[in-house]
Amino acid sequence: MDSETKAKFVDLFEDYSKNLPEKIQYIDELAKRLQDQWDADLFSEFYRKVHSLHGSAGVYGYIVLKQLADGLEAYLKPFLASSVDLKALNFQKITSDINALKKAWHDTSSEKALSIFLKSNIITGDAGEKNEKNSNHRR
């Protein structure tokens, strides 16, 4: 990969990372709105946002976020079918999963995610795990 392409990837990564909290927050808001009042279109949007996070987080190196979003998506997917009883939707579990997403975002080092994203040890060196523990966690 040439330096120009790498710079483009790093820019994309930074944009994505900057917008991640907003994405998770929106998922949280949708879940709360659904809990207050059920709406099929809103549920579709909620599912799509979780699906989107699942797909994108992994691409950008946020592996734990990807795994958590995958789990939530797997839970939600059967409810897309019209024959499934929507009353069975467990909002306690959904809230817990969303809180786990928030925590994962908080705990994940962007340096480590970038390193995974670029498949290189240039950013964190061989001590990537150590750096993750010691890095400047957000907030």
Q: Which residues bind another protein (CB under 8 A)?
A: 1-2, 4-5, 8-9, 12, 16, 48, 51-52, 54-60, 66, 70, 73-74, 77, 117-119
Q: 15 or 35: whose CB is closer to another protein? A: 15
Q: How far is the CB of 20 from another protein (least distance, A)?
A: 10
User: 55 or 125: whose CB is closer to another protein?
Assistant: 55
Cα distance between residue 134 and residue 64, in whole Å: 17
Count the neighbouring beta carbons within 10 Å of the beta carbon of residue 82. 7
Q: Cβ closer to another protein: 74 or 127?
A: 74
In the bound complex, what is the minimum distance in angstroms from residue 125's beta carbon to another protein? 19
Minimum distance, C-beta of residue 54 to another protein, in the bound complex (Å)? 5
Q: What are phi and psi of 136, to 5 degrees?
A: -75, 90
Distance (Å, whole) CA 49 – CA 65: 13
d(CA 81, CA 135): 43
- DSSP assigned state of 82: T
